[in-house]
């Protein structure tokens, strides 16, 4: 066999450039892969931000009029119709003429569909009224003093096919075609409130009398027949009435006068309960907002106000003027509430129209006047406004106003809501009734997020940082190799498991042993310090037998013993100092409310989840300090403790700061623990024994039940955007500070 000869230097030199070329290609591939991956990550984060902003942006776009359609005058009716309405589909315009005839016309071209008179003979309509939220039932007052009630309904006709379906309007008289009330003088003002139990009609005549009709309804359970018991009462009003309204619960009658006052009468006995001055000018129009709680008031100067009953310290209701709205240019002649939201339309004598929202207190749309307006109508969805001129012509305005209930004030400032004693920050996005006033304040959610993160960090930071410092600087290497992986594995525990344990085990345990928990906090620190002192001073020969770095293991039985002693002593201490029940004492004597799932439970559970993250990063920062700095400090005579505090700690401070910020981000964004271990009550209270609701938990709870595209849906995305921006700003600021700390201590 031929012997194998080694390669000559010339061959090795020729092969080396090929190896260097392959290495350069691998470096280039790795560099491009990392660059592309990093760019894609940044792009993904940017796209998340863009998507959140795209969903949220419609909340802050102003309302607008999309189109204006002239339906023309109806030759069969007298000029100046008394009442207008639009059906759900926006296809049929209903109008009541001054002669008492209801006309149904097409909303597209104005063609007449049908007509029906209210009563036999000619009728001169002087007043109309309907209840917000129930626009189908309309009360009509005439110059003869008669008051009649009718209901307009709309049925869908699919006989010719789905695509050519028709809306068929009809007129019904649920309380009969005869007059329900007969005044001795022409009806000047009229109000109606109706539900399944009773109908209430209030009418004011030109002679100054106020007449109240109450129609109680009783249904036979066997036959289903409804019997109506009608009672009437009247009373003279000693002042000139300029406006009239009925509360939705049928308890109060509101009368306006020429001096700017609102008088509140009881509907039970027609006695005056309260008089308040709302304006310096004569009251020209009033109307109840959706729900029948708030009273909308307009005066002859064009000013608009909202008032509703508020309970005082003696639990008595008193009407208060809550807010004012941007004024129109002339006397308010019409106020029309929306049927499904807390909005309304106001019209002045010059024909100027303003669309408002009561909760925000803002004017969301302004339509320039085209002349005096005789009647106004709103579609059930508030996406169209009907305006009838004095000549009988009707103009249809299509309105784009999807989110009038969201503004900067409703999101971040105190708002005075209906049935609340004072302005407050409130999150309550939904309720069982349809006349609910949405409350979209993000302030209590942000507060709850910071509260949960604060208590979690108070629990986690001292334990995690001290454990990291001891593990990296003082613990024996063999013990460190065992302890560090165990703590890091804790980060792999699913937060849903931690939340489950916190809600079903920890919260009841803390509630039952509240005194023991506080006794542990009082006994454990001094007990550990005392044991350490005795160990250092009187350990003797046994201390020398313990290898360096293994001494902390002796603390395990000591801690267990101290905890057992604290729990044992808790019962007698609680019996002597707190009457045997610390929780009851806190509520009864200290006035501190206690909820089972509270911030204390959250601090422990979420702190347990945050500890591994802070510990792992901080321990790596401590352990990564160059050994030359440590050895140099020890060689110069510094003690290990002095070396740790004066050399290692400053050098590792950038990494420690990063650990704290990453832990804070984890606490702020935590969802499952706060979702399962708190009461999810959006309150603003630093009380350790009460719960909270965070931004993340609120999104998880309410996103499945929100309607896509609704204000609720978009506000939840706004909460996500706020959370995203908060973590982005905190992490960016943390990185800037970390870099400066790194530059400051890089010379060590």
pLDDT score recorded for residue 154? 87
Cβ within 8 Å of residue 37, ≥6 positions away: none
Contact call for residues 698 and 674 (beta carbons, < 8 A): no
Q: Stretch 415-422: mean pLDDT, rounded?
A: 91
Contact call for residues 190 and 83 (beta carbons, < 8 A): no
Helix (H) or strand (E) segment spanning residue 377: strand 373-378
Residues 212 and 234: their CA atoms lie apart, in Å, by 6
Residues 384 and 400: their CA atoms lie apart, in Å, by 8
Does residue 732 carry a pLDDT above 90? no
244-298 pLDDT, tens digit each: 999 988 899 999 999 999 999 998 888 999 999 999 999 999 999 998 899 999 9
User: Which has more pLDDT, 306 or 371?
Assistant: 306
pLDDT score recorded for residue 100? 87
| β partners of residue 345 | 336, 355
Report phi then psi at 214, rounded to 5.
-120, 120
165-219 pLDDT, tens digit each: 888 888 888 888 888 888 888 999 999 998 878 889 999 999 889 999 988 888 7
pLDDT score recorded for residue 1? 44
Residue whose entry in the numeric block shows the structure tokens 């926006």: 90
Average pLDDT value over all residues in the chain: 86
| β partners of residue 190 | 203
372-405 pLDDT, tens digit each: 888 999 988 888 999 988 888 888 899 999 999 9
| Burial (Cβ within 10 Å: 0-12, 13-18, ≥19) of residue 178 | exposed
613-651 pLDDT, tens digit each: 999 999 988 988 888 888 888 888 888 888 888 888 888
pLDDT score recorded for residue 77? 47
Query: At 551, is the pLDDT very low, low, confident or very high (cuts 50, 70, 90)?
Result: confident
CATH classification of 443-745, choosing from 3.40.640.10, 1.10.3720.10, 3.30.460.20, 1.20.1250.20?
Answer: 1.10.3720.10
User: Which has more pLDDT, 75 or 528?
Assistant: 528
Q: Stretch 590-616: mean pLDDT, rounded?
A: 89
pLDDT score recorded for residue 161? 76
pLDDT score recorded for residue 457? 93
Contact call for residues 410 and 429 (beta carbons, < 8 A): no
Q: Stretch 496-509: mean pLDDT, rounded?
A: 90
pLDDT score recorded for residue 695? 92
What are the sequence ranges of the domains in the chain? 9-60, 124-236, 443-745
pLDDT score recorded for residue 223? 66
Q: Stretch 410-431: mean pLDDT, rounded?
A: 91
Does residue 317 carry a pLDDT above 70? yes
Does residue 14 carry a pLDDT above 80? no
120-129 pLDDT, tens digit each: 667 888 999 9
Across 99-103, 356-360, 735-739, which has the greatest mean pLDDT?
356-360
Does residue 8 carry a pLDDT above 70? no
pLDDT score recorded for residue 728? 86
pLDDT score recorded for residue 15? 52
User: Which has more pLDDT, 600 or 738?
Assistant: 600
Query: At 581, is the pLDDT very low, low, confident or very high (cuts 50, 70, 90)?
Result: confident
User: Which has more pLDDT, 17 or 695?
Assistant: 695
């Amino acid at each position: 066999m031929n012997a194998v000869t080694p390669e000559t230097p010339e061959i090795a030199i020729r092969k080396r450039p090929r190896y260097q070329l392959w290495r350069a290609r691998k470096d280039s591939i790795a560099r491009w892969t990392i660059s592309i991956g990093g760019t894609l990550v940044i792009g993904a984060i940017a796209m998340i931000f863009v998507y959140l902003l795209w969903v949220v942006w419609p909340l802050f776009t102003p309302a607008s009029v999309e189109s204006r359609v002239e339906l023309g005058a109806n030759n069969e009716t007298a000029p100046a119709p008394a009442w207008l309405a639009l059906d759900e589909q926006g296809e049929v315009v209903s109008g009541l003429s001054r002669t008492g005839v209801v006309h149904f016309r097409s909303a597209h071209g104005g063609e007449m569909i049908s007509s029906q008179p209210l009563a036999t003979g000619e009728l001169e309509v002087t007043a109309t009224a309907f209840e917000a939220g129930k626009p189908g039932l309309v009360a009509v007052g005439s110059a003869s003093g008669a008051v009649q009630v009718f209901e307009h309904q709309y049925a869908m006709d699919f006989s010719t096919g789905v695509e050519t379906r028709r809306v068929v309007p009809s007129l019904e008289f649920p309380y009969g075609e005869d007059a329900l009330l007969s005044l001795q003088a022409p009806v000047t003002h009229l109000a109606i409130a109706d539900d399944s139990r009773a109908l209430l009609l209030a009418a004011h005549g030109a002679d100054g009398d106020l007449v109240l009709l109450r129609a109680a309804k009783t249904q036979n359970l066997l036959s289903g027949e409804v019997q109506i018991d009608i009672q009437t009462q009247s009373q003279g009003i000693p002042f000139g009435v300029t406006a009239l309204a009925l509360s939705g619960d049928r308890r109060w009658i509101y009368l306006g006068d020429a001096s700017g006052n609102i008088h509140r009468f009881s509907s039970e006995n027609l006695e005056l309960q309260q008089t308040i001055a709302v304006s310096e000018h004569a009251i020209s129009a009033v109307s109840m907002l959706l729900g029948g709680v708030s009273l909308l008031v307009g005066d002859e100067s064009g000013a608009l106000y909202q008032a509703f009953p508020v309970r005082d310290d003696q639990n008595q209701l008193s009407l208060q003027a809550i807010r004012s709205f941007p004024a129109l240019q002339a006397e308010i002649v019409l106020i029309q509430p929306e049927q499904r939201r807390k909005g309304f339309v106001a019209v002045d004598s010059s024909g100027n129209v303003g669309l408002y929202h009561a909760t925000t207190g803002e004017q969301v749309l302004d339509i320039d006047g085209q002349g005096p307006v005789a009647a106004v109508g709103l579609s059930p969805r508030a996406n169209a406004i009907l305006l009838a001129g004095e000549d009988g012509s009707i103009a249809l305005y299509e309105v784009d106003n999807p989110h009038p209930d969201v503004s900067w004030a409703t999101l971040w400032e105190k708002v005075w809501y209906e049935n609340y004693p004072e302005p407050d920050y409130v999150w309550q996005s939904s309720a069982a009734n349809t006349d609910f006033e949405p409350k979209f304040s993000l302030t209590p959610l942000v507060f709850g997020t910071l509260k949960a993160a604060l208590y979690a960090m108070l629990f986690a930071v001292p334990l995690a940082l001290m454990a990291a410092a001891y593990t990296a600087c003082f613990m024996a290497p063999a013990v460190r190799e065992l302890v560090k992986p165990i703590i890091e594995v804790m980060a792999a525990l699913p937060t849903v498991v931690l939340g489950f344990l916190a809600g079903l085990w920890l919260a009841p345990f803390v509630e039952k042993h509240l005194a023991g928990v506080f006794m542990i906090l009082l006994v454990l620190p001094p007990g550990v310090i005392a044991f350490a002192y005795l160990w250092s001073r009187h350990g003797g020969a046994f201390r020398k037998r313990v290898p360096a770095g293994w001494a902390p293991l002796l603390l395990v039985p000591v801690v267990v013993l101290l905890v057992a002693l604290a729990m044992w002593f808790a019962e007698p201490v609680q019996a002597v100092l707190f009457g045997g029940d610390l929780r009851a004492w806190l509520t009864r004597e200290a006035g501190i409310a206690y909820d089972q799932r509270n911030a204390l439970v959250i601090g422990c559970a979420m702190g347990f989840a945050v500890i591994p993250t802070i510990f792992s990063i901080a321990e790596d920062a401590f352990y990564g300090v160059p050994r030359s700095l440590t050895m140099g400090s020890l060689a110069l005579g510094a003690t290990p403790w002095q070396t740790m505090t004066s050399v290692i700690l400053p050098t590792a401070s950038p990494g420690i700061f990063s650990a704290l910020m990453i832990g804070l981000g984890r606490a702020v964004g935590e969802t499952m623990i706060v979702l399962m271990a708190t009461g999810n009550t959006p309150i603003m209270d630093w009380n350790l024994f009460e719960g909270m609701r965070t931004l993340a938990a609120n999104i998880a709870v309410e996103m499945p039940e929100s309607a896509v595209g609704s204000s609720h849906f978009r506000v939840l995305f706004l909460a996500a955007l706020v959370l995203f921006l908060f973590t982005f700003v905190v992490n960016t600021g943390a990185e800037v500070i970390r870099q400066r700390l790194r530059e400051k201590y890089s010379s060590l």
